[in-house]
Chains A and B, each alone.
Chain A
Amino acid sequence: MAPKIPQQSPLQHSDTVATAGGIPQHAAHPTGWRRWVLTTNHKEIGTLYLIFSLTMFFVGGIFALVVRAELFQPGLQLVEPEFFNQMTTMHGLIMVFAAVMPAFTGLANWMIPLQIGAPDMALPRLNNFSFWLLPVSFTLLLSTLLMPGGGPNFGWTFYAPLSTTYAPSSTTFFILALHIAGISSILGAINIIATILNMRAPGMRLMDMPLFVWTWLITAFLLIAVMPVLAGVITMMLMDINFGTSFFDAGGGGDPVLFQHLFWFFGHPEVYIMILPAFGIVSAIIPTFARKPLFGYASMVYATAAIALLSFLVWAHHMFVVGLPLVAELFFMYSTMLIAVPTGVKIFNWVTTLFRGSISFESPMLFALAFVVLFTIGGFSGLMLAISPADFQYHDTYFVVAHFHYVLVPGAIFAIMAGVYYWLPKWTGHYPNETLAKWHFWFSVIGVNLTFFPMHFAGLAGMPRRIPDYALQFADFNFVSSIGAFFFGASQLLFVLVIVLCVRGGKKAPAKAWEGAVDLEWTVPSPAPLHTFETPPVFQSTDK
């Protein structure tokens, strides 16, 4: 989705440089591959992130289809169980760390400077570094599949001792790859926080910021707080595997449950890292196409902050059956249920924004509306899982798989797609082909529900997750899920088609591509020139 960018004056401050004597490397903006590899421009780096994410979305998708193909019928059909385990693991790791997170970072790169009236990210070279760590990291991670003994096969949550004592030897490479991805996330988050806190246009107060910026500010805080904890826990794994330590070995006085505590202290904020920016995108799109200001702007900000704070206090709801003390079961059950309150505020605000609005149903709006409905389903099943005694039944069944795929696929990924359709006119100067986009939307909605809705039933009836075979009574549900998965996967090719067509041409978009759009990004031309807001705009607060 490379934007068509007119060749512009290459330097921000050629005057300054000229008077100061000049640095030799201040040459014209390079072209060809050098332009992309060496760039410090937030729009180009944003594009790189988005292309990388889309590529990895298909890689992770193919892994998922291997899983669904195997589960199409009961019995061992296509792949060895060992390989099946590697596929479930790699699917999760790639989708979380290489598809969803970089997609949001790419959107942040493109849109945050435009939405706050900044000339670029606060630390542009560091920005490029954050991106290029990702291809390095995931090349290393994917290469483990080709190593002797195979790749990681213990699920994306890599619980010890499966991931230490009983792990394939490639696990060390998996740990190091994840370290690189973690460095990338932390540096990216530092950059985003510095940009938001320091680069806003004069006159823009924090409470004037668009919600996508707000949600990313809070997400960046979460990233900086928990990615180092992930680094810590995988370092302990590395030590247990290679240096004989006993962190997760009860024989030496350690505890495998310690792994789960540390992992989920990272892991639960991590799932909000993957959904808060989605809230921000939806909060931009719904008011635009309902042609009404967002209902309850301030409460949206406070709800986001509340969700982020609570995310540090709920991690053990992933561990209800591991053998926690009763008081921990109760504490984590109630704290988890509490999250429904700020989330409910958000859903209420979106619905109330729609109420008596002049709604039109362009493709971004369709995805955003589907997000509200289907994410809510995922939220409700999450509430069911939060109930500790009930979770004893649901734990590690397909019900959990259904739950988190509802919040991640029609949640996070639909919001990303909504954002892509919403901002493509700004990136390329053309509207996406609305007919194809609508086909993509309907195929996706049908595919998602065909795939994941039956998993609720299979799970409630007791089908365990991460097992390549299942009892006969689950055959019909799995049959439907597999068909849905292939349908959903194939319909994503339409997404690529729409993007490619949009980059190459299409109906010209004006600066303000959508009638009801209000934020600063719609004041710059479409496509956005390489450099925008070199002189900060004066922001007029509208008191939301």
Chain B
Amino acid sequence: MSSTGYYVPPTSRWPILGSLAIGLMMAGLGAQLVYGSATLLIVIGALSIIAVMTFWFRDVISESHLGLYDSQMDRSFRWGMGWFIFSEVMFFAAFFGALFYVRMFAIPWLGGEGAKGVSALLWPNFIAEWPLLNPPDTSVPSPEQVFSPWQLPLVNTLLLVTSSITLTISHEALKTGNRSLCRNWLAGTVLLGCCFIFIQGVEYYEAYQHYGITLEAGIFGSTFFILTGFHGVHVIIGTLILIVMLARVMRGHFEDSQHFAFEASCWYWHFVDVVWLGLFIFVYVV
């Protein structure tokens, strides 16, 4: 227990403004989806969220620089980030669970297998297969072919695994006080992240243009896009976080022994990497 006591911040306007910003964006998103006329509201909401986050983190950084945070506060941040990542794990678990359920139960049953084979009566000509290229209802668009895992997906796997290694080198450099080494490897990590996002974009383009894999293309398209899509969003967020960290390293932020923001970013990046490995295996390979 430190001698100065635990720092309880004074009143702050960011929580309430952040809530209102989220409300604004969600209302806009809903209005856009239902009534198709609220792009402006979404943009204002999203910009407000970014602004609030910027100001909120600015407060945290300045408090940290003022030396208000002790080791106990550091542990609070660690628990907070750790449990946040656990919640993210469970978020992806829902989508993986859906994929496994569909592949192991729903489709075989539709094909007439097992105790629930009665659902095969709905579409007698349906043949159970995975990847599902012929959805039961013929009015549902069907994918023409699926990606070979050993082309772009493998490249992406190598990119992300490499990026985890480069990030670790950068972190080790920070810990030993070698700032330029830290900066360079971090910049390299950001670059690898950007390459991943670009290749994922190419893959999506290919999916829509040449493979017939779309959101509407039955359960294969649904699970493919929700898993890779949410993962892609997380890579984008992770890359933005790393860019912020890069800017902070270049401004001389962090200490050799005290740099939890950087460490938390590393945790997040490794988490995104591990999710990709799950995706690579279960969405692309098997």
Contacts and interface: CB of A to CB of B under 8 A. Distances in A.
Interface stretch (A192-200, A298-306, A515-523): A192-200
5 contacts: A125-B56, A129-B18, A252-B135, A254-B222, A323-B118
Task: Name the prevailing secondary structure of the A interface residues.
Answer: helix
Task: Give the interface size bracket for A toward B.
Answer: 35 or more
B278 interface: no
Task: Name the prevailing secondary structure of the B interface residues.
Answer: helix
Interface of A: 10-13, 16-17, 20-21, 23, 25-27, 29-30, 34-35, 37-41, 118-120, 122-126, 128-129, 131-133, 135-137, 139-140, 169-170, 172-173, 176-177, 179-180, 183, 186, 189-191, 193-195, 197-199, 202, 224-229, 231-233, 235-236, 238-239, 242-247, 250-255, 257-258, 261-262, 265, 323, 325-326, 531, 534-536
Given A180-B23, A250-B119, A229 B136 contact: no
Task: Give the interface size bracket for B toward A.
Answer: 35 or more
Given A172-B33, A251-B139, A253-B132, A198 B5 contact: no
A253 B102 contact: yes
A140 B156 CA distance: 40
Nearest to A136: B23
B102 A258 contact: yes
Contacts of A16: 4, 7, 67-68
Interface of B: 1, 4-16, 18-20, 22-23, 26-27, 29-30, 33-34, 56, 62-63, 66-68, 72, 75-76, 79-80, 83-84, 86-95, 97-98, 101-102, 105-107, 110, 114-116, 118-119, 122, 132, 135-137, 139-140, 215-216, 218-223, 225-226
B15 A132 contact: yes
B8 A12 contact: yes
Most chain-B Cβ atoms within 10 A of its Cβ — which of A12, A37, A125, A254?
A: A254
Contact of A253 (B62, B89, B106): B106
Contact of A128 (B12, B67, B87): B12
A40 B218 contact: no
B33 A242 contact: yes
Contacts, number: 257
B5 A535 contact: yes
B100 to A, nearest CB: 10
A35 B10 CA distance: 11
B90 A21 contact: no
B87 to A, nearest CB: 5
Given A23-B63, A246-B140, A262-B97, A122 B79 contact: yes
Contact of A136 (B1, B22, B101, B102): B22
A133 B22 contact: yes
A122 B76 contact: yes
Contacts of A123: 76, 80
